[in-house]
Structure 1
Amino acid sequence: MIESVPEYETGWFVGGYDLVEQPDGSRKRYYWAELPTAVVVTAVTDDHVLFVEQYRPTIRHEQLELPAGVVEAGESYTAAAERELEEETGFRADSLSVLEEVWVATGLLRHKRAYVFAEGLEPTEQNLDANEFLTPRAVPIEEAMSTVRSGAINDATLQGLSLADAKGLL
């Protein structure tokens, strides 16, 4: 890499490019967006998977998604998952474990995501951020995959369910 140039900063993401010398000696700009690290929570209780329904303005659709959010500075993946789960759904887990940590869309993004499995849920109180309008929804485990695939779906929800299923947790 010859240089890395951030061109746009919002507080939520940074966008820019890296000027790279390629194997043939030519130079090319590779554009990227850098997003904060996030967690996605697959939470199971009473043979149900806990989701949230929310409208996503970027795609102009409501989606059924796994609870998710940004990992704050100094916060572990499980602590972030515990916080986001309670804020978004009104449930607290007594057991959380990291399923996987991945880089997301590496052709464009600088963004890590961790998938966390949560169980032993107890009801507390939903505590949404001012810009969140979420409705919690429990779906029977055996219907979870077909339910989310029947509508608009996102990668994080599909991956979270698939990872939990592959590890025999669903």
Structure 2
Amino acid sequence: MIFEEKTIETERIYEGKILNLRRDKVTVEHGTSYREIIEHNGGAVIAAVTEDKKMVMVRQYRKPAERAMLEVPAGKIDPGEDPKQTAARELKEETGYEAEKIEFVTSFYPTVGYSNEQLYLFVAEGLVPGETCFDENEAIDIEEIDIDILFDMVMTGRIHDAKTIISILMIRDMISSGKLRSCRRL
């Protein structure tokens, strides 16, 4: 039987621009314990797919990992913003593309052990190129890569970002099963 933890008290440790940190005292099966929890508004993840089965990817330096990472476009949800609006905004900002169609695929918690961050995955089709409008602190390279090559990169450990791995696996399955009709069968 799974024991549901109840919060007894909460201590605010840090409040920042992107995240907050709290420490909860909780009930556990044989007494009490503490949980350190990162609070985050969540984010939208955009799998932008071209007609010829390529995904629009971004490569950028990530300080926490101390390396450049190949990722799907994504961004944090602003307070009061709908995740689908975030997806469209981030796609335009990071890649310059606008999409004729953006559809919700799934949501997931990337680090459920210590954060309430929830990510919402969308697929974008009918891509129309345009100009990027990076945030002032962003330096991003844009690449279009075939989904089968991306799948191979996932399976051989060459993609390290969890949201990107999930996106590639989901989109490849959607293409294979015919759920993404805009992709030409090659």
After TM superposition, the score normalised by the length of structure 1 is 0.92
2:4 aligns with none
Instruction: Name the aligned partner's letter for residue 158 of structure 1.
Output: I
Q: Who is 2:84 aligned against?
A: 78
Superposition map of 1:44-55 within 5 A: 44-47=49-52, 48-55=54-61
Distance (whole Å) between structure 2 residues aligned to residue 114 and residue 137 of structure 1 = 22
Count of residue pairs the alignment pairs up: 169
Please tell me whether residue 146 in structure 1 is matched to residue 152 in structure 2: yes
Aligned partner of 1:56 among 62, 73, 87: 62
User: What SS does structure 1 have at the residue aligned with 2:49?
Assistant: strand
- Worse-matched range after superposition: 45-54 or 101-110: 101-110
Give the Cα separation in 2 of the matches to 1:13 and 1:6: 12
Q: CA 1:99 to 1:45, structure 2 compared with 1: closer, same or farther past 3 Å?
A: same
In the TM superposition, 1:1-170 aligns within 5 A as: 1-24=7-30, 26-47=31-52, 48-147=54-153, 149=156, 151-168=158-175, 169=180
Measure, in 1, the Cα distance between the counterparts of 2:147 and 2:109.
Answer: 27
Matched residue type, 2:78? E
Q: Percent identity over the alignment?
A: 27
Q: Is contact 1:96-1:119 (8 Å) kept? A: yes
- Contact in 2 for aligned 1:41/1:81 (Cα 8 Å): yes
Q: How much does 1:150 deviate?
A: 5.0
Gaps of 5+ in 2: 1-6
SS at 1:58 equivalent: helix
Structure 1 contact 38–112 (Cα < 8 Å) conserved: yes
Which amino acid is the alignment partner of residue 123 of structure 2?
A: F
Q: Normalising by the residue count of structure 2, what TM-score does the alignment of the two structures yield?
A: 0.85
Give the SS at the match of 1:2.
strand
Deviation at 1:86, TM superposition (A): 0.6
Q: How far apart, CA to CA, are the structure 2 residues paired with 1:135 and 1:105?
A: 26
Gaps of 5+ in 1: none
Deviations 1:111-152 (A, max 9, x none): 111000001000111000011110110012221222355535
Give the aligned CA root-mean-square deviation in angstroms: 1.5
The 8 Å contact of residues 55 and 61 in structure 1, kept in 2 or not, is answered as yes
The amino acid of 1:135's aligned partner reads D
